[in-house]
Chains A and B, each alone.
Chain A
């Protein structure tokens, strides 16, 4: 199954994948709700449409974070080595990157769920 995942990329930027997904999801929720509540006729539908939209976005964001986490887990050698990954080798540098990316994916996962939590409780454009 691991062959299906894209090949490893040598880059510093992979570290930021999951938080970027969080940021995009957060921004989409905020902008979507703001436009929906300020310009109710533009997007159409009732508040439940917005809620469903946010849930769909959330599922998408969570799946992307899970993929990022899987890639990170692979980079971390599926957890075969314990931290601290402080040896002066390319391998340990990769393990460190994988581990840190995995941790960030976890945080981003929780943060995305937090962002989506309001749609469970707030059911109108009340102010």
Chain B
């Protein structure tokens, strides 16, 4: 008897301890919280609010088009409204909402307390929020971007685009940084932070999809960032990348934009399908049929989606053979999509379906999406696209795909996962009403648009003449849009008002099988104790699991040292490897996001000094963040996590999550660099005489720069090795030498184009050489800061032979730096000689 009460006291003490460690700060300091639950909810609410705003813009657009020759709003306002509608829906809703859902759901789903970099997640959210408010706010000053969400030059580089173009470029570059931060966090989280025993064949499908999607973000967003860089160089400094008169080419932007833009569609679509892959098994009452097929579909779609971008450019006059390759890939991507749909159907057929509100939205979404997919197969064929391209047929197609493939699943997910937020259900009655309003409203809006487009109505016209067959179709679309809007409004009312009256329900109301349903909405710790997973649907197959988890009978049930901790496991078999201490509440995330935001916003208005000062503050913030929050040497080597397992508290190199984060970040960075190199060779193919008789950077300086960077890399690697063997003094000398060599490398790199007097505003050739060299030099500069950081850590005694995580990660950075230098200086120095 006393044993039991002692155990009860232990348990209460553990819970109090955990609660204290994971508690959110109160008052206004609440906003400095970095806990994944909070960040996920903020992220989701902000994205949802942006969606409603963009929806209102769409209603404005539809009101203007309701009747022919309407003058409700001006052409300028119309152009700003439709541009912002597309931009906000894509960048501020569709992608972020999934980052939000993933940040909120993944830790409990994977059986982790937290994602590995909570402060990075919070930084991403604040960047997104600041950038989003900045971009959306512009329309109230009549300064919103007005050249379409695709921002084609030369229109968007011209003066007609106004400051809106800068707001678009800089605001969204900032938001893309946030997306990349989230992607890094999700990949590392899914690969390394799963519960013990959750092998890759037992991972929840949502995690599989998100892993692929985050990987796609790493390779899809950087080309746009590279494009933004070129674009802004043209707008700010008149470097002629897209100016045909000086050798530039507007088509380069289209390539870079759509290399991002098409994978983006699947980045939006796959996570939505992932939600369905969680919902459908629950309501079919059985495990998904064809788990491997889903993995095939996710991976296959992820790859193929990078071979589709030119299908947005079928009418640009590229050789037919090039168009044909992309048409072929666009058809091929329909196969994995079909697999996904049939996996769902097969799962339902093999089970018995309880038809609830989430299922209603899921089925409605599939019906709409399949139609969008079929019209997608049609427009992927070059001849048909020659007609359909840039018409309302495409508007219909893309909304069928995105609303059916994304918005309806999101609503299904909202109704399904709502009990995880506060333990209450959303209203079934309102849900049913909202679904039917949305479903009919949607079809009344967009079904006629297929015909409008086939009857020749182009996109992005702010008005149209009467009597050429578009009148009643447009009126119908407007009526439908209003109905759709009312349906969405019903859900908003339900979320904000109705739920207050609902009593708190049971913990796993749908009797789902996946692990996220053990999490307790009122607690911040994610899971009370981290269980060993033995099934894809542990709550169905592992008897008594929920009780054991809640009773703290599994791993890591306490936080004795008063630190936020989660488990790191191996990639394939999820064997426990390390207890990871993650960052807690801190101002540093908000500070860094705000300063970086200031950099971008000040650049928009060309406030150079403000921008520079904010940049310095940002750098200082990041260094403070890293110095105080990472690479800490623990007070003991190992920690007992229960069940006789003791794990190290520190890891470096391949075993550390920081190493993975660096690797993934640099893969993205390398993709941006590759896009610039693509630009260099793109201009080469465009011109009979690439250099148009202009001076190149010569061979001497580029080769000197390359040699110096190679030496700096060697010094860094040697510093790591000597440090590992305990030669701390020699290691510091090597790091110092590395710094000197890198500085000389940067200078030599810039000396090439400088000494030959290459003028980047004169022609695209000098401009593209300068951009590559500056890219390498800036990366050299970052490399120098990293070397100095390691030197300082070593001198401060925070970097030792055993605890060398920083140096390991910096060396990894330098591997990428070496490749960057090799390609940059090889290309700018040697390629002109080879011509």
Contact = CB atoms under 8 A, between A and B. Distances in A.
Interface of A: 10-12, 15-16, 19-20, 22-23, 26, 29-30, 33-35, 37-39, 50, 83-86, 88, 90, 92-93, 95-97, 99-100, 103-104, 107-108, 110-111, 114-115, 117-119, 121-122, 125-127
Contact of B325 (A12, A20, A33, A83): A33
B287 interface: yes
Interface residues of B, number: 46
A111 to B, nearest CB: 4
Given A86-B535, A127-B318, A110 B685 contact: no
Nearest to B317: A127
Interface string B318-332: 111110111111011
Given A23-B303, A26-B329, A86-B291, 10 more contacts: A11-B572, A22-B304, A83-B290, A86-B287, A96-B292, A104-B299, A110-B335, A118-B324, A122-B321, A125-B321
B523 interface: no
Contacts, number: 141
Contact of A111 (B289, B295, B332): B332
Contact of A103 (B199, B293, B302, B303): B293
Nearest to A20: B303
A10 B329 contact: no
17 contacts: A12-B571, A23-B307, A33-B321, A84-B289, A86-B536, A95-B201, A100-B292, A104-B300, A107-B300, A108-B303, A111-B304, A111-B332, A114-B328, A115-B328, A115-B329, A126-B320, A127-B320
Contact of A86 (B201, B306, B319, B571): B201
A85 to B, nearest CB: 6
Contacts of B534: 88
Interface in B682-718: 685-686
Interface string B280-323: 00000001011111011001101110110000000001111110
B201 A118 contact: no
Contacts of A95: 201
B202 interface: yes
A38 B573 CA distance: 50
Interface in B185-205: 191, 197, 199-202
B131 interface: no
A20 B468 CA distance: 49
Mostly helix, strand, loop or mixed at chain B's interface? Answer: helix
Nearest to A16: B299
A68 to B, nearest CB: 13
B533 interface: yes
Nearest to B541: A86
Given A19-B299, A83-B290, A111-B304, A34 B322 contact: yes
Interface of B: 191, 197, 199-202, 287, 289-293, 295-296, 299-300, 302-304, 306-307, 317-322, 324-329, 331-332, 335-336, 533-536, 571-573, 685-686
Contact of B324 (A35, A96, A103, A122): A122
B296 A107 contact: yes
Nearest to A92: B201
A93 B324 contact: no
Contacts of B299: 15-16, 19, 100, 104
A88 B199 contact: yes
Residue in A30, A35, A37, A111 whose Cβ sees the most chain B Cβ within 10 Å: A111
Given A83-B291, A107-B300, A118-B321, A96 B200 contact: yes
Contacts of A122: 320-321, 324
Nearest to A107: B300
A10 B289 CA distance: 26
Contacts of A15: 295, 299
Contacts of B327: 118
